[in-house]
Homo-oligomer: A and B are copies of this chain.
Amino acid sequence: MTKGDETRQAILHRGVEAAYRVGLTGLTIGELASATGMSKSGLYAHFRSKESLQLAVLGQARAEFVDTVVAPALRTPRGEPRMRVLFEGWLACDLRQDPGGCLFVKAATELAAQEGPVRDQLVRDHRDLYDAVAQVFRTCVAEGGFRDDVEPEQFASDLYGVMLGANHAHAFMDDPRAEGRARRAFEALLDAARSPAPVPVP
Binding site for B on A (CB under 8 A): 21-23, 99-101, 105-106, 108-113, 123, 126-127, 153-154, 157-158, 160-166, 168-169, 171-174, 177, 181, 184-185, 188, 192
Contacts and interface: CB of A to CB of B under 8 A. Distances in A.
A100 B115 CA distance: 11
Given A108-B172, A160-B165, A161-B185, A113 B99 contact: yes
A157 B185 contact: yes
Q: How many copies does the complex hold?
A: 2
Given A101-B112, A109-B109, A165 B173 contact: no
B173 A123 contact: yes
Contacts of A185: 154, 157-158, 161
Given A157-B165, A162-B161, A181-B154, A109 B105 contact: yes
Nearest to A127: B173
Contact of A112 (B126, B153, B157, B171): B171
A160 B154 contact: no
A172 B22 contact: no
A181 B155 CA distance: 9
Nearest to A174: B123
Contacts of A161: 161-166, 185
Nearest to A189: B188
Nearest to A22: B113
B172 A157 contact: no
A108 B171 CA distance: 9
Given A157-B165, A158-B181, 10 more contacts: A99-B112, A101-B112, A108-B172, A109-B110, A111-B172, A123-B173, A154-B184, A160-B168, A161-B163, A188-B192
A168 B127 CA distance: 12
A192 B190 CA distance: 12
